Amino acid sequence: MTGTTKLKVGILGASGYTGAELVRLLVRHPGVEIALLTADRHAGKPIGDVFPHLARLTLPDMVSIDDADWSKLDFVFCALPHATTQKVIASLPDSLKVCDLSADFRLRDTATYAQWYGGEHQAPELQKLAVYGLTEFYRDDIAGARLVANPGCYTTTSELPLMPLLEAGLISHEGIIIDAKSGVSGAGRAEKQGSLHTEVSEGIHAYAVGTHRHAPEIEQELGVAAGKPVTVTFTPHLMPMNRGILATIYVSLAAGANVDDLRVALAARYDREPFVHVLPAGRSPATRDVRGSNHCLIGVFPDRAPGRAIIVSVLDNLVKGASGQAIQNMNAMCGLPEVMGLEQEALFP
């Protein structure tokens, strides 16, 4: 970006929650102009028809992907469903930079992809070029990437606290247990019985116990951090709230390490990061303290069981867990300050 020229960005899949969240954030981003919105089922409509809270904005009407004019764009966010994205991105002009919010390019190993997502990868060459978009760990690669695979929401919540500790050898790479709790927006806007207010509010349950697709993604990155394969226990739960993820993580301390060492190491690692914050001893992070913001909060606690620690981390699944981190990656890819457009405070209560 030179001078006052704004990046022309497109959002593919604008009628979903991550699409709407990209719009909410990007319309106040000083370096960006939204030049394309796609939504196949709603082609021809203004975005206010599907998201009334965005009705007052002056934005292009939604079009189908087939009718998109790529020539005007500098950057594309791809917020399409898993498995539909590979072909779309493969068909984009090479000149376009892309941040993909789906799971399609997150797993470096295409065999692992095929195993967990039920089919052969449709764009394995692109997969090789994709950079994993956990900004705090890959920002140098992201800066030079054409295609960034934005991490999953559970994944980001788990990796941010665990990767520095594995890198530093302060915890065991074995026996890591991640008990994760997510708000309903993580299930998207699809019309599913399990997402109805009547089926979600005033109750909780675990789902996909031992079988959730974010587990191999978490293991991929923890394996990089640990320098060896990692198997995690991962249990997601559905919470009667819209936004927010909280991961309660149970770890074994490495020989010689204590709980304060963990907190000190995390605090040092994230000391200059604008969006990751380690709380003082005794403070427990709450999802409501990051609602609507791009922040991740981490608390570290001693376990009653000797030699163990409990780590709690929270973020907003639609922001740092999706659209906010995608914008952070766009900033990094396009030479903009990483925090640009992401400085809103949390909305509480």
Strands 296-302 and 97-100: unpaired
Which CB atom, from 113 or from 138, has the smaller least distance to its own copies? Answer: 113
- Binding to its own copies by CB under 8 A, coded x per residue (else -) over 189-208, reads x-xxx-xxxxxxxxxxxxx-
Among positions 25-44, residues that touch its own copies (CB under 8 A) are 27-28
Binder of its own copies out of 291, 296, 325, 329 (CB under 8 A)? 291
Please check whether residue 319 is in contact with residue 258, taking contact to mean a CB–CB distance below 8 angstroms. Answer: no
- Residue 179, interface with its own copies (CB under 8 A)? yes
In the complex, the smallest distance separating the C-beta of residue 198 from its own copies, rounded to whole angstroms, is 4
- Residue 154, interface with its own copies (CB under 8 A)? no
Binder of its own copies out of 6, 248, 264, 267 (CB under 8 A)? 248
Q: In terms of C-beta density within 10 A (0-12 exposed, 13-18 middle, 19 or more buried), how is residue 340 classed?
A: middle
Six-digit token pair at 343? 């400085």
CA nearest to 147, candidates 335, 333, 3, 337: 333
Stretch that binds its own copies, among 5-13, 102-110, 158-166, 296-304 (CB under 8 A): 296-304
Which CB atom, from 121 or from 181, has the smaller least distance to its own copies? Answer: 181
Which CB atom, from 130 or from 176, has the smaller least distance to its own copies? Answer: 176
Binder of its own copies out of 290, 298, 315, 330 (CB under 8 A)? 290
- Binding to its own copies by CB under 8 A, coded x per residue (else -) over 52-91, reads xxxxxx----------------------------------
In the complex, the smallest distance separating the C-beta of residue 302 from its own copies, rounded to whole angstroms, is 6
- Residue 241, interface with its own copies (CB under 8 A)? yes
CA nearest to 65, candidates 88, 46, 34: 88
Positive or negative, the CA dihedral 153, 159, 161, 162 is positive
State the Cα–Cα distance between residues 62 and 98, nearest whole angstrom. Answer: 19
Binder of its own copies out of 151, 244, 321, 324 (CB under 8 A)? 244
Which CB atom, from 3 or from 349, has the smaller least distance to its own copies? Answer: 349
Please check whether residue 285 is in contact with residue 310, taking contact to mean a CB–CB distance below 8 angstroms. Answer: no
State the Cα–Cα distance between residues 308 and 171, nearest whole angstrom. Answer: 9
Residues binding its own copies: number (CB under 8 A): 85
Please tell me which residue in 99, 153, 296, 334 is annotated as part of the active site.
Answer: 153
- Residue 5, interface with its own copies (CB under 8 A)? no
- Residue 46, interface with its own copies (CB under 8 A)? no
Stretch that binds its own copies, among 21-29, 90-98, 138-146, 323-331 (CB under 8 A): 21-29
Type and span of the H or E element at 331: helix 324-333
In the complex, the smallest distance separating the C-beta of residue 60 from its own copies, rounded to whole angstroms, is 17
Please check whether residue 327 is in contact with residue 9, taking contact to mean a CB–CB distance below 8 angstroms. Answer: no
Which residues on neighbouring strands pair with residue 108, listed in sequence order? none
Annotated active-site residue 78? The verdict is no
- Residue 213, interface with its own copies (CB under 8 A)? no
State the Cα–Cα distance between residues 69 and 260, nearest whole angstrom. Answer: 54
- Residue 288, interface with its own copies (CB under 8 A)? yes
Which CB atom, from 133 or from 183, has the smaller least distance to its own copies? Answer: 183
Stretch that binds its own copies, among 59-67, 86-94, 119-127, 277-285 (CB under 8 A): 277-285
State the Cα–Cα distance between residues 137 and 143, nearest whole angstrom. Answer: 12
CA nearest to 236, candidates 215, 209, 216: 209
For 216-285, give the DSSP string: HHHHHHHHHHHTS----EEEEEE-SSSS-EEEEEEEEBPTT--HHHHHHHHHHHTTT-SSEEEPPTT---
Among positions 218-237, residues that touch its own copies (CB under 8 A) are 231-235, 237
Among positions 253-272, residues that touch its own copies (CB under 8 A) are none
Residues known to be catalytic: 153
